[in-house]
Structure 1
Amino acid sequence: MNPYLQLISLLSSASARFFCSEAELAAALFSVIHFADKFNFSGEDYPSYKARMALESVPLLASTPEREIYTTTDYSSDEIKPGSIAYHPVKGLIMADSYWWFSSKQFVQDLTAAEANPSINAHFLHVKSGGGEAWYLDEVAKTLIGLDKPVYTLVEKVAASAAYYIGVHGKVVKALTQNDLIGSIGTMVDGLNIMGYLEKIGITRIREVATRSDLKNKKYEDLLKGKPEQFIREELDPLQQQFEAAVRAARPQLNDLPDDDPVFRGESFYASPPAIEKTLIDGLTSFDSALAETDAMGKEWATRRNNRKSLMSYL
């Protein structure tokens, strides 16, 4: 499936539940409009996520022997320098399973591979995303919580909704500039009802349900008819509660905020001072300083690991 059809499938699906900022969703919708205008069914002009990240990451990953910091995106390689940092770009629209967009399933595989690689000391999450698909992010959170190696999160420009859900699990969470946007802790549905267009071009929908299937797809049909109460109560509210619980567990300092604070109602904040004051992030930094902090955390972890091994050899 090409990237445009994959987006249309998601945005017109009953499972279109998002931890997503409006800006990220708008970008996705415009790409769909591009598809509709150009009828580009092949998607050949849209490179894969890994290909795009490889091009973007080259200048960022140019570590030098002088500063002895090495980064890698080849998480399972046995040829990387010992003490390397696993670089994980979390950029653009987040989807559960995609070749074209950031894939939360692939991310779990990458984290697992990097965690198992003895030459890697730490994980570096470079977050620049307004969020995306809600499904599977609970599995991402479980994986991040289960990592033994330290995780560092650097926000560039925006870490909203699903992207913050991921980035909040860093032991340290910092942003590049005071104008980076942080937060949007909330859940929504924002999709496409394409039936009107199909009817306009002469395609008639035929829909009937069996006598004992009166509830089949009912809450989604009610949503389309402007009666969203059941969908909100049974689909969106539980996901929002799951999202909030994960954020509170990852950053316990947020529990000092009142339950009705805008932080927990979907508001977004500039990094400094609001996001720092709200304890959504720990401060501001540069890219080089963030890598240096991650490297120091990784070396400290490696020292503790080696000490444990030495102790066990005596026991």
Structure 2
Amino acid sequence: MNENSLLQLLLSPAHKLLCTQEEFVAAIISCFPVAAQKSFADIVSTISKGFYSEPLTYRDSVKKELQAVSRQSEISVTDDFGSDTLDPDSLAYHRIKGMILSDTRYGFSTKQFAEDLLTADANPHISCHFLHITSGGGEAWYLDRVSEILRTLDKPVYTLIEKVCASAAYYIGCHGVQVKAVTQNDTIGSIGTMVSFYDIRPYLESLGLKYIEEYASKSRLKNKKFNDLVAGKPEQYIKEELDPLQMQFEAEVRRSRSALAALDPEHPVFLGESFDAVHSVENGLVDGIVTMPEAMNEAYGLGREWSRKNKMRHQAYSFI
């Protein structure tokens, strides 16, 4: 049975998002193809059929993309992070595409990404992590753990943005020693925090279903924050749920990108604005615009330099 992680993320108010509106809408359409359906029953039928058809796992789909990437250069690039038969100074290829989820086999998973980073970092045949990003963001949960791992990696990280790197995707991508974009028209930024979901109760009530909710006498605060949000009183939810995430996000970006560290807190970069690659170079979100082969050569150069310094370090230890 196919996982329903994305469906749960989109329908549950318990999940806070770091994503663009475009990424959210694209995810909604992928789960609810409303344009092609005539009734709610048709939509449910379509989704149910999808649960029983086995799609490609995310790892399998990445393998197909990696074949195209590998053809653009003679540099060894791999997604087999634990292999002991790789060429020296291979690049670890981490594809970050579409809606970011914490735990799924069929989309990009931050938990799997964390494991892959650690495995690749421990492999002596790999000298650089190559992050290839096309994503408008997604689930906020677990990003702090991923960032912690990215900060403590021994080997350099290179980030290449293709088309879009926004919100949660930039939360990840900002850790690159170098952050580059593929075209002038790539979209970068959206450093902001939001919650987005559909309140389906009015629709169910229109079908004759009556919603009942009662609490114990002492449970005065149970679900209050969420119920206030739905009722149009979001102040407590924003202050206690969204604002802390925003502060974490901004702090991580400032710590990872020296070019952004000195920006005023009210700079558009930290107010959720998105920019094309040209303006992103000007404001420090990215370092330049390159082709895929150029990016791979730059990442390979970072890896080679790391290998040289690492070899010298080990030689120095051997004389102690």
Q: TM-score, normalised by structure 2?
A: 0.93
Q: Distance in 2 between matches of 1:193 and 1:19?
A: 19
| Aligned partners of 1:2 and 1:41 also within 8 Å | no
Q: Structure 1 residues 25 and 255 mapped into 2: Cα distance closer, same or farther (>3 Å)?
A: same
CA–CA separation in structure 2 for the residues paired with 1:63 and 1:129: 22
1:41 partner SS: helix
Q: Report percent identity of matched pairs.
A: 48
Bigger drift between 249-258 and 71-80 goes to 249-258
Match 1:280 to one of 276, 285, 293: 285
Secondary structure, aligned partner of 1:141: helix
Q: How many residues align?
A: 310
Q: How far 1:60 sits from its partner (Å)?
A: 0.6
SS in 2 for 1:221: helix
* Separation in structure 2 between the aligned mates of residue 210 and residue 13 of structure 1, nearest angstrom: 23
- Conservation of the 8 A alpha-carbon contact between 2:13 and 2:195: no
CA distance in 2, matches of 1:160, 1:307: 38
| Structure 2 Cα separation of the partners of residues 311 and 245 of structure 1 | 36
RMSD value over aligned CA atoms? 1.5
* CA drift at 1:268: 0.2
Between the aligned partners of 1:47 and 1:215, the Cα distance in structure 2 is 43
Instruction: Answer yes or no: is 1:306 the counterpart of 2:311.
Output: yes
Shift of 1:55: 1.9
Q: Aligned partners of 2:268 and 2:124: how far apart in 1?
A: 42
Alignment match, 1:30: 29
| Contact 1:63 1:70 survives alignment (8 Å) | no
Residue type at the aligned position of 2:182: L
CA distance in 2, matches of 1:227, 1:172: 42
Q: Does 1:61 align with 2:78?
A: no
- The offset of 1:63, in angstroms, is 6.5
CA contact (8 A) 1:160 1:182 kept: yes
Q: Which residue matches 1:114?
A: 120
CA distance in 1, matches of 2:80, 2:242: 37
Moved runs in structure 1, 4+ residues, more than 4 A?
Answer: none
Q: Which runs of 5+ in 1 are unaligned?
A: none
Q: Deviations over 1:80-125 (max 9, x none)?
A: 2221110000000001111111100100000010001111010000
| 1:51 partnered with 2:60 | yes
Residue 51 of structure 1: how far off its partner (Å): 2.1
Give the 3 Å change call, closer, same or farther, for CA 39–197 of structure 1 in structure 2. farther
SS of residue matched to 1:178: coil
Please tell me whether the aligned partners of residues 31 and 47 of structure 2 are also in contact (alpha carbons under 8 angstroms). Answer: no
Alpha-carbon shift at residue 257 of structure 1 (Å): 2.0
Does 2:6 correspond to 1:7?
yes
Q: Which ranges of structure 2 fall in alignment gaps of 5 or more residues?
A: 35-39
What is the SS of the residue equivalent to 1:57? helix
**Contact 1:152–1:173 (8 Å) recurs in 2:** yes
The equivalences for 1:108-257 within 5 A come to 108-257=114-263
Q: Is the 8 A contact 1:160 1:185 kept in 2?
A: yes
Q: TM-score, normalised by structure 1?
A: 0.94
Letter in 1 for 2:32: I
How far apart, in 1, do the equivalents of 2:197 and 2:7 lie? 9
